[in-house]
Each structure stands twice: as structure tokens, then as C-alpha cells.
């Protein structure tokens, strides 16, 4: 075998090894020796493993499960020293001065502590037990074909221990090729599913994707459980590299050819009074399907979601978290990364239940021509400006469409955007923008067809102010009753998912500031769409079970809202908010009570 074995000394003159009591990669005395193994054809790749046969060890911030073998990319430094780069990201292994301190792989650049001295070991030193696997994969090209052959031949223990180390070293193109093998080769996928069971993406998501690719069966409803709450805690590539299995999935999704144009993905909790209108609106303007994530509803939404799903109108993903987690992040991951049916749609718009994709009636009546034109221009994503609609002095909810009740807006100063993107290019999304497949960047356009940026967006969720052709109508505050209803719902953060009521006066100042008409502008651009919207709502209500579920939600809202407004007002009175703000709320509350008494 064309392998070289080396011992590594850190900057402080200590040999690297493993603290067997903790399973940590450390440096110092009285530890299990490690060796760096490199293949002569690829000296830029390094594998750290123990001389003795131990189950696994870990390196802090390596962001992978403990393993008997860790892989790195070698960066040659001056004076014959090397740095060990994480296989997936620009982070370097570092050894701090304290002896037996766990080595950490989180340094963004190389200084002294990140440099190691290589000492070749005697030629007659026995090869570690993992050396054959390294020779088989790296010596045969370190590519998808070599990895596939090895996966089918290796024994279960070796496959489970070393697969992750090899997968991390594949280039993006080779990852995509290996992903294609997984979709095409049932034996390979089954072998990995059974053997690499601690990788959720390979053991759970890839089998569903491969099965769906064969049959393209639709999905009406899925209920998750607490075992998937970890989906809300993953870094999907914002600060650190995602899990290798997810990176592989992101590459593989690019191979799927969608058959339909566009879908909407939304999260909602206790927003049943808006469901029917929101679904009707987006169906009316041409979206092919709706994927709606929800959890822990107490307003009757589950019954309506269930009936809509049974009729094939939506796909209902009940995320059902059982522990504090980023519920919105779990929802978007459960949909985009874990629900293969979404890949049947070329475009995905991520929106909330108070956000409506609006079209300029003079230019477009249907999303089809608009999306097709943007794609012809080379767009991978489209940024829609937020238009913040205002309460228009309304105190109570009325059972007529939201878009017709509120036809005033804030001045065009808000630069936040919402985004539609090509589904197969982004295995995750944030509320305002997609998280592209790892280490890929794509082209984002505004609604005029102007290029905004081509780099990976990170947390960027702003754009040039443009409402030409299309925009997002954001009906955030609505009437006083609906504002209180919104404030009584837990947000999609890390609160307990079982909490039904969480009274919090969020955004009270802008609600009061824009409640009247003095600081707002008229906006009736959607009026021409109202007849078609009414027709679509009536069509949905023609299903008796949908109509009954919708009526029950509205009845429940009316029974609860008076008490919630009273509780909210008491909380405002007892709060430490500025006196002028409290006085303005008291005036609105007095008007509300007078109206409610009639």
C-alpha cells in the first residue's frame, strides 16, 4: 500500500493522541498514540486515527459524531509544518497551551497553535486497522466511484466507522455523482441505511427521496414527533458547515427535474380564521400546491387543515415538536429537506399566513408568465418587497377577506423582502431568504428583473425597493382584535411548543402609530382580483367538511377574543411602557368596548 504514517507534534512540542477516558483528541503524555495517514497520490488529504483499536474519538467543533477516523485537508506551511483544515469549511485544528486540553477545530485562520510538525514513523511500524480502507478509496481516485465500490465491499464495522470521513472529502461534483448512485442503486442505499444509522439524512431522508423518485406519489399529511426536534437546532450553513449527509442531500436534489411550476411553503399556528382566504388567494393566482406546516393548534385549525389535506388542496406537515426548539426552522427543514414531494415544483415561495403574493393587475393576472420570465432572465431566486398594510382604524374582525378589509399601507420605506427560489437549489430556508446548497451561490433578481446579488445570501434579507410587477402584501397588524390575537400566540422561536397562550405586546408602538389614516397611504391595487378570490373561497366552502371546520374556527375566535382583549389591556395597564403609549391604547380600548357593547 502506498501510504505514509506520521506522528504529529503540536506547536508546544507535544504529540497528538487520544485521552481514552474521555474519547478526546488531545496532546500530551500518557495518552493513546495517533497517526496521520496519507496516501502518496493525495498528500493533501490526511486521516487521524489511533494506533490501538478504539471505538471512536472526537475533536471539539469538528461538528460530526465521534468516529475512529477523522479526515482533514492538509495545508502546507513554512518550515515543513502543516495545518489541518476541516474537510468541509475554512476552520483549522488548534492545540491550546494546556496539556491534555481537547483539540478544537474552529480557528478561521492559521497562526502558531494551528501548525503541526510531521515526524515520519519507522517503515516497519504496523499499519493501523483502517489503513486498507484509506488505500481502497483514496488510492482509487477519492471519487464517487471509488467510494461506491468500497461501500459495497467493506465490512459493517469499517463502513460505519470510516464512511463519514470519506464522504466529507468528496468534491461537490463527486458528491452529486455519489448522490445519483444512492438514488439509482437500491443495494448501495440499503447498505448505508442499515450501517450508517446515526446519519439521519442517509438513513431516513434518502430512502424517502429514492422511493418518491420512482413513483412521484403526492403527500396529503404527515405528522412528525419529538425525535425530529433536532431539525430546529442545526446550523444549515450560516456559521458552520451543515452535516455531511445534508450537504450530500443538497447536491443530490439538483438532479431532480420538477414537473410543475410553483408551490407555497408556510408555517402557521392558531391562524385558522385566515386559512381559507390565504389558500384561496394563492390558488387563484396560479400556485400549483401549498405545503403548510403547523403545530400545537388550539383554535380548530387542525380540523380545517385535515379536511383541506384530504381533498388534496394542501399538504399538511404537522411538525408536532415535543421540546423547545426553533419551531420555524424545524418546519422549513421538515418540508424542504425531508419532504421530497416539494421537489416536484420548480419554484417555492416562503410566506406566512399574513403575507400575500400580490400581482400588478395591469401586467399579470397569473404567476406563470411572471415566474417564467424571471427564469428566462437567469433568476434562481426572486426577492419581493414587503408592503406593510395597516389597520385602517378597524377595531373588530369581520368575516370578509383580509385583502379587501385593509386597503391602506405604510409609506414605502421598509426594505425587507420575502423570496421565491428554485426548490431543488435550497434544502433549507429562513423566513426571508433561502439557504442555498452548501458552498453554492446563485442569482437573485428583484421583481423588475434586476440582478440583486450573486453571492450566498447568509442573513441578508433586504433588497432595492421595488413594487413593480409584484410584491408581498404583509397584513401584520390588522384590526385591534386581530392584533391581540396575534400577540396571544407563541412565536416560532424556542418557546415551549405546548404553550397555548403567550400574551406579549409585540410591536405595540407601530400598531398604534399606523392604526389611523394620518400616516398611511391608500392602496387598492388588488381590488380587481376580489371577484375571483370570492369565487375560489366559495368553491372551497362548497365542500361540507371544509365549510363546517371553517365555521367552527370563526365561532371559537368570537367566543375567545373578548376575554383576550380584556386580559391584554390589563397587561398593558400594569406594564412599564411609556405613559403616552399606554394612554393611546386606553383610548382604543375604550372605543372597542363601546363598539362591542352595541
- Residue 34's DSSP bridge partners are 50
How far is it, in rounded angstroms, from Cα 475 to Cα 408?
A: 10
Length of the chain: 598
Residues 6+ apart with CB under 8 A from 495: 324, 327, 502
How far is it, in rounded angstroms, from Cα 19 to Cα 52?
A: 12
Nearest to 201 by CA among 135, 253, 131: 253
Residue with cell 422549513: 332
Find the helix or strand (DSSP H, E) in which 331 lies: helix 327-336
- Residue 71 burial (10 A CB sphere; 0-12, 13-18, 19+): buried
Strand segments (E) across 207-323: 221-223, 260-268, 289-294, 315-318
Nearest to 9 by CA among 118, 99, 107: 118
Nearest to 467 by CA among 351, 353, 356, 359: 359
How far is it, in rounded angstroms, from Cα 290 to Cα 274?
A: 14
Pairing of strands 470-474, 381-388: parallel
- Contact of 359 with 468, CB cutoff 8 Å: no
How far is it, in rounded angstroms, from Cα 294 to Cα 307?
A: 14
Residues 6+ apart with CB under 8 A from 243: 63, 64, 199, 200, 201, 234
Find the helix or strand (DSSP H, E) in which 534 lies: helix 530-541
pLDDT of residue 457: 46
- Residue 535 burial (10 A CB sphere; 0-12, 13-18, 19+): exposed
Q: Which domains does the chain have, with CATH numbers?
A: 3-129 (2.80.10.50), 136-217 (no CATH), 257-551 (3.90.550)
571 C-beta neighbours (distance < 10 Å), count: 14
- Contact of 302 with 336, CB cutoff 8 Å: no
- Residue 18's DSSP bridge partners are 25, 32
Find the helix or strand (DSSP H, E) in which 74 lies: strand 69-76
- Residue 193 burial (10 A CB sphere; 0-12, 13-18, 19+): middle
How far is residue 448 from each of residues 33, 244, 312, 351, 384, measured CA to CA in Å?
62, 37, 34, 20, 10
Local structure of 149: helix, strand or coil: helix
225 C-beta neighbours (distance < 10 Å), count: 11
- Contact of 440 with 362, CB cutoff 8 Å: no
Give the three cell numbers for residue 6: 506520521
How far is it, in rounded angstroms, from Cα 295 to Cα 166?
A: 38
- Contact of 466 with 385, CB cutoff 8 Å: yes
pLDDT < 70: residue spans in the chain: 454-464, 490-503
Give the three cell numbers for residue 378: 437567469
pLDDT of residue 463: 62
pLDDT of residue 130: 87
In SS3 terms, 261-327 reads as EEEEEEEECCCHHHHHHHHHHHHHCCCCEEEEEECCCCCCHHHHHHHHHHCCCCEEEECCCCCCCCH
Residue with cell 418557546: 495
pLDDT of residue 69: 94
Nearest to 87 by CA among 133, 136, 42, 22: 42
Specify the DSSP class assigned to residue 127: P
How far is residue 379 from each of residues 202, 337, 443, 473, measured CA to CA in Å?
30, 21, 5, 22
How far is it, in rounded angstroms, from Cα 96 to Cα 131?
A: 29
Max Cα distance, the chain (Å): 96
% of the chain surpassing 70 pLDDT: 96
Nearest to 475 by CA among 592, 352, 589: 352
- Contact of 206 with 182, CB cutoff 8 Å: yes
Find the helix or strand (DSSP H, E) in which 151 lies: helix 144-153
pLDDT of residue 344: 98
pLDDT of residue 54: 73
0.85 surpassed by pTM: yes
Residues 6+ apart with CB under 8 A from 391: 406, 477, 478, 479, 480, 483, 511, 514, 515
Give the three cell numbers for residue 117: 510538525
Amino acid at each position: 500500500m502506498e501510504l505514509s504514517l506520521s506522528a504529529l507534534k503540536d506547536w508546544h512540542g507535544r504529540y497528538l493522541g487520544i485521552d481514552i477516558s474521555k474519547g478526546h483528541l488531545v496532546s500530551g503524555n500518557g495518552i493513546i498514540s495517533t497517526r496521520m495517514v496519507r496516501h502518496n497520490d493525495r498528500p493533501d488529504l490526511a486521516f487521524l486515527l489511533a494506533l490501538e483499536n478504539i471505538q471512536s474519538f472526537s475533536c471539539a467543533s469538528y461538528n460530526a459524531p465521534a468516529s475512529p477516523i477523522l479526515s482533514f485537508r492538509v495545508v502546507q506551511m513554512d518550515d515543513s509544518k502543516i495545518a489541518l483544515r476541516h474537510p468541509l469549511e475554512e476552520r483549522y485544528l488548534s492545540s491550546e497551551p494546556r496539556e491534555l486540553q481537547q483539540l478544537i477545530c474552529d480557528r478561521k485562520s492559521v497562526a502558531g497553535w494551528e501548525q503541526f510538525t510531521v515526524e515520519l514513523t519507522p517503515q516497519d511500524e504496523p499499519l493501523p486497522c483502517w489503513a486498507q480502507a484509506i488505500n481502497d478509496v483514496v488510492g482509487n481516485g477519492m471519487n464517487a466511484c471509488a467510494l461506491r465500490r468500497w461501500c459495497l465491499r467493506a465490512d459493517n464495522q469499517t463502513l460505519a466507522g470510516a464512511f463519514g470521513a470519506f464522504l466529507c472529502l468528496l468534491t461537490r461534483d463527486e458528491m452529486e455523482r455519489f448522490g445519483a448512485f444512492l438514488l439509482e442503486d437500491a443495494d448501495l442505499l440499503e447498505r448505508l441505511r442499515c450501517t450508517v444509522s446515526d446519519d439521519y439524512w442517509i438513513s431516513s431522508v434518502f430512502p424517502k427521496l429514492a422511493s418518491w423518485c420512482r413513483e412521484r406519489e403526492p403527500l396529503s399529511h404527515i405528522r412528525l414527533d419529538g425525535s425530529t426536534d433536532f431539525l430546529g437546532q442545526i446550523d444549515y450553513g450560516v456559521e458552520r458547515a451543515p452535516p455531511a449527509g445534508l450537504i450530500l442531500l443538497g447536491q443530490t436534489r439538483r438532479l431532480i427535474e420538477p414537473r410543475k411550476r410553483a408551490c407555497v411553503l408556510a408555517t402557521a399556528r392558531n391562524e385558522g380564521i385566515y386559512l381559507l382566504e390565504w389558500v384561496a388567494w394563492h390558488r387563484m393566482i396560479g400556485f400549483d400546491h401549498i405545503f403548510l406546516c403547523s403545530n400545537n393548534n388550539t383554535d380548530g385549525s387542525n380540523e380545517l387543515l385535515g379536511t383541506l389535506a384530504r381533498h388534496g388542496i394542501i399538504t399538511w406537515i404537522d411538525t408536532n415538536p415535543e421540546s423547545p426548539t426553533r419551531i420555524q426552522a424545524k418546519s422549513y427543514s421538515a418540508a424542504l429537506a425531508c419532504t421530497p414531494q416539494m421537489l416536484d415544483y420548480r419554484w417555492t415561495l416562503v410566506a406566512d399566513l399574513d403575507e400575500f403574493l400580490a400581482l400588478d393587475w395591469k401586467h399579470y393576472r397569473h404567476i406563470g408568465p411572471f415566474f417564467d420570465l424571471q427564469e428566462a432572465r437567469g433568476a434562481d431566486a426572486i426577492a419581493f418587497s414587503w408592503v406593510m398594510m395597516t389597520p385602517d382604524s378597524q377595531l373588530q374582525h369581520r368575516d370578509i377577506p383580509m385583502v379587501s378589509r385593509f386597503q391602506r399601507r405604510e409609506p414605502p420605506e421598509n426594505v425587507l423582502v420575502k423570496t421565491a427560489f428554485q426548490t431543488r437549489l435550497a434544502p433549507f430556508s429562513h423566513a426571508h431568504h433561502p439557504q442555498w446548497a452548501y458552498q453554492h451561490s446563485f442569482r437573485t433578481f428583484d421583481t423588475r428583473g434586476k440582478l440583486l446579488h450573486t453571492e450566498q445570501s447568509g442573513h441578508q434579507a433586504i433588497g432595492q425597493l421595488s413594487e413593480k410587477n409584484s410584491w408581498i402584501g404583509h397584513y401584520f397588524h390588522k384590526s385591534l382584535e386581530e392584533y391581540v390575537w396575534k400577540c396571544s400566540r407563541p412565536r416560532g422561536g424556542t418557546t415551549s411548543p405546548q404553550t397555548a397562550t403567550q400574551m406579549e405586546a409585540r410591536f405595540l408602538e407601530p400598531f398604534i402609530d399606523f392604526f389611523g389614516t394620518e400616516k398611511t397611504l391608500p392602496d387598492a391595487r388588488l381590488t380587481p382580483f376580489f371577484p375571483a378570490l370570492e369565487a375560489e373561497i366559495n368553491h372551497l366552502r362548497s365542500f361540507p367538511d371544509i365549510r363546517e371546520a371553517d365555521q367552527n374556527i370563526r365561532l371559537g375566535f368570537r367566543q375567545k377574543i373578548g376575554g383576550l382583549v380584556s386580559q391584554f389591556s390589563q397587561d398593558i395597564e400594569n406594564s412599564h411602557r411609556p405613559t403616552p403609549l399606554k394612554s393611546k391604547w386606553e383610548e382604543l380600548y375604550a372605543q372597542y368596548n363601546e363598539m362591542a357593547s352595541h
